[in-house]
Amino acid sequence: MNGFAEILNLFIANAIAYPFFVAVCDFIIYNIGKIILYLIRYAVYHIRRDISKYKSNNKDKQ
C-alpha cells in the first residue's frame, strides 16, 4: 500500500506541477514572440520611412 500511495502522490504532484510549468513556458514564448514582432514592425516602419525620404529627395534633384 505504501508504494501505491507514493506513486499516487507523485502522480498528483506532477499533475499539479506540469500545467504551471507549461503556463510559464508559454508565457515566456508569448512574450519573446511579442518582442520579435515589435522589432520587425519597428524595422519595417523605419525602412519604409527611409524609402519615402529617398524617393522625395530624388524628385527634388530631377
pLDDT, tens digit, 9 for 90 and up, residues 4-55: 889 999 999 999 999 999 999 999 999 999 999 999 999 999 999 888 887 7
Residue 33 pLDDT: 97
- Grid cell 508569448 is found at 30
* 41 CB-contact burial (10 Å; exposed 0-12 / middle 13-18 / buried 19+): exposed
Answer whether residue 45 is part of any domain: yes
Give the pLDDT of residue 2. Answer: 85
The answer as to whether 40 is a domain residue is yes
Residue 9 located in a structural domain: no
Angle at CA 59, nearest 5°, toward 53 and 60? 90
Is 6 inside a domain boundary?
no
The predicted structure's pLDDT at residue 59 = 65
* Amino acid at the residue 2: N
Domain-located, residue 5: no
pTM of the predicted model as reported, rounded to 2 decimal places = 0.61
Structural domain span for residue 31: 22-62
Closest CA to 32 of 40, 43, 45: 40
Q: In the chain, how many domains are there?
A: 1
pLDDT(62) > 60: no
